[in-house]
Homo-oligomer: A and B are copies of this chain.
């Protein structure tokens, strides 16, 4: 699973919104680190994106990662 390419050069972003998008990426890479097969990921996302509880759980992971990214950027103050 070692990613040859550099997908996370830095935690610094230009805006809170870019920071939120990085938090989404971190959450997805967390899933990819356990399951690298695109087919399985697409199949599962199609399924859980239809389920309220699963969507809430996905939002929770983004919230934890956004907390990290926001602190890294001193809340873009």
Contact = CB atoms under 8 A, between A and B. Distances in A.
Q: Tell me the interface secondary structure of chain A in the complex.
A: helix
Q: Give the copy number.
A: 6
Contact of A34 (B11, B16, B55): B55
A23 to B, nearest CB: 8
Interface residues of A, number: 56
B59 A53 contact: no
Which of A8, A24, A62 is most buried by chain B, counting CB atoms within 10 A of its CB? A62
A5 B62 CA distance: 20
Interface in A1-34: 2-3, 6-12, 15-17, 20-21, 24, 26-31, 33-34
Interface in A29-77: 29-31, 33-35, 40-41, 44-45, 47-68, 70-72, 75-77
